[in-house]
Amino acid sequence: MHTLDHVPVLLLGHRGEVLARNALLTEILGSPLEPGTSFVRYMFQDPIARDRIVNWCDFASATVATMRRETARRLHDHRLTALMDELRTTDRDVARWWDDHTVRDYASVNKRIQHPTASPLSFNIEIVCAPHEPDQRLVVYTTEPDSPTARVLPLLASWNTPSGR
């Protein structure tokens, strides 16, 4: 993850569990997202997600469609089923998107962030699946060269170094 410290990066398991992430992702999303926590729960249960992600509805509906794909692929994964059942019962948006039966494969998504200091930020989310590790997805937040977001990322990254903040 340290090789990619110049952009936000997240490694997810098939249930949306955080396996690893870099400090810049934490700064961008405003949540620690410690390994072992659920990115899916962050999307739907952490109010910061809805505040920071400007196009939250687009990104959240894609998350549900991706999780629907995972549950169809893993019919005997009771933890995954329980997670989605819980979210469908506690969040009307999840229930609505789940009931529309959309299934989504991992693909690039645009994400706009309302950062409290460096706003607005715009990323293309690239999702990479290694052929020998199909249960893991590397999520890389890329930027257009010389865009306002690309120019501010080094400053945000410096806040997470020992000599930063």
Location of structure tokens 């870099």: 22
> Helix/strand/coil (H, E, C) string of the chain?
CHHHCCCCEEEEECCCEEEEECHHHHHHHCCCCCCCCEHHHHHHHCHHHHHHECCHHHHHHHHHHHHHHHHHHCCCCHHHHHHHHHHHHHCHHHHHHHHCCCCCCCCCEEEEECCCCCCCEEEEEEEEEECCEEEEEEEEEECCCCCHHHHHHHHHHHCCCCCCC
Q: Are 52 and 29 in contact (CB under 8 A)?
A: yes
Q: Specify the pLDDT at position 154.
A: 94
What pLDDT does residue 162 have? 52
Residue 140 has a pLDDT of: 95
Query: Which residues share a beta bridge with 107?
Result: none
Pairing of strands 133-142, 121-130: antiparallel
For residues 135 and 13, the answer to whether their CB atoms sit within 8 Å is: yes
Query: Whole-prediction pTM value?
Result: 0.90
Residue-by-residue pLDDT tens, the chain, 165 positions? 667 889 999 999 999 999 999 999 999 999 999 999 999 999 999 999 999 999 999 999 999 999 999 999 999 999 999 999 999 999 999 999 999 988 887 667 789 999 999 989 999 999 988 888 889 999 999 999 999 999 999 999 987 655 444
Top CATH class of 2-158 equals alpha beta
